[in-house]
């Protein structure tokens, strides 16, 4: 109910924002906008925005999301590319190490870590590897070793506040291979420790199957198709795959899906 100036509706938002269902906020915003005269709207808009922000609804009404809150403050989207050939070479070595820091409240990308890695056992990339990943020899030659890259990941995690015990974050991968097989296997081969934050993750394929009721046999391509999303970049580019994973997660979150850890504790 509103008077001519819409003040009653604003008062409702002022006093009831803490208990107001988040899913109804976009409708409330439309109601306020339709009831307020243009001049009044400008004056009251910032007041309502500030009031809602003080209740944890974001910095502006336009930025408010209508999906339920996630269990994590941040999702760390990761997708390795590694040396490969047909038949497969052993050991495989990580050659691209991308991470996207996804805000668990807005599902927007806040920060990016992206480095190429110099392979040491098989330093020369195969034509098959270059064709599959788009990574050419010059992109890995002279790059840091995996040990050096892992040190820089730790520095980035610290800088982003992700090592704070009060901050809940978890890695997200398209499958279990990256953190169950690839990273621990190469670290074991090189005699390197695996940081604890790499030991729990969300397998996006499992999350998608829980949300949509079907298993994405062809990974990102099937998930994008199932959600009517345009594929970003080229398949098997680590950084592009991360962007697709983030886009799929955002879409599922907007549909009300809440992400949970799928890996078993080490």
Instruction: Judge whether residue 172 has pLDDT over 60.
Output: yes
Taking the C-alpha atoms of residue 229 and residue 42, their distance in angstroms, rounded to an integer, is 36
**Contacts of 198 by beta carbon, 8 Å cutoff, 6+ apart:** 171, 179, 183, 184
| Residue-wise burial string across 112-131, b where 16 or more C-beta atoms lie within 10 A, e elsewhere | ebebbbbbeebeebeeebee
pLDDT of res. 266:
60
pLDDT of res. 180:
98
**Mean pLDDT over residues 1-21, rounded?**
38
**Mean pLDDT over residues 172-196, rounded?**
98
Instruction: Judge whether residue 57 has pLDDT over 50.
Output: no
- 77-94: per-residue pLDDT in tens? 999 999 999 999 999 999
Tokens of 71: 């269990």
User: What's the pTM?
Assistant: 0.76
Band (55; pLDDT cuts 50, 70, 90): very low
The catalytic residue positions are 81, 236
For 15-40, give the secondary structure using H, E and C: HHCCCCCHHHHHHHHHHHHHHCCHHH
pLDDT exceeding 90 applies to what percent of the chain?
73
Band (265; pLDDT cuts 50, 70, 90): confident
CATH number of 74-255: 3.30.420.10
Listed by start position, the domains of the chain span 74-255
Residue 71 near residue 96 (C-beta atoms within 8 A): no
């Amino acid at each position: 109910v509103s008077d001519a100036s819409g003040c009653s509706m604003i008062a409702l938002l002022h006093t009831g924002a803490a208990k107001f269902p988040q899913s109804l906020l976009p409708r409330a915003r439309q109601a306020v906008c339709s009831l307020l005269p243009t001049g009044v709207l400008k004056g009251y808009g910032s007041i309502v925005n500030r009031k809602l922000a003080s209740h944890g609804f974001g910095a502006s009404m336009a930025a408010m999301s209508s999906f339920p809150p996630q269990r994590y403050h941040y999702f760390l989207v990761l997708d390795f590319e590694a040396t490969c050939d047909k038949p497969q070479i052993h050991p495989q070595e990580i050659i691209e190490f991308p991470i996207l820091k996804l805000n668990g409240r807005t599902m927007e990308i806040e920060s990016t870590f992206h480095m190429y890695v110099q392979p040491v056992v098989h330093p020369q990339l195969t034509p098959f590897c270059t064709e599959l990943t788009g990574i050419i020899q010059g992109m890995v030659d002279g790059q840091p070793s995996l040990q050096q890259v892992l040190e820089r990941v730790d520095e980035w995690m610290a800088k982003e506040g992700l090592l704070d015990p009060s901050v809940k974050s978890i890695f997200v991968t398209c499958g279990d291979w990256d953190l169950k097989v690839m990273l621990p296997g190469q670290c074991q081969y090189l005699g390197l420790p695996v940081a604890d934050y790499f030991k729990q993750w969300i397998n996006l394929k499992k999350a998608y199957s829980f949300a949509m009721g079907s298993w994405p046999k062809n990974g990102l391509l099937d998930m994008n198709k199932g959600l009517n999303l345009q594929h970003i970049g080229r398949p098997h580019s680590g950084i592009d795959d991360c962007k697709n994973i983030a886009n799929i997660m955002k879409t599922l979150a907007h549909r009300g899906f809440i992400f949970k850890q799928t890996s078993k504790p080490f």
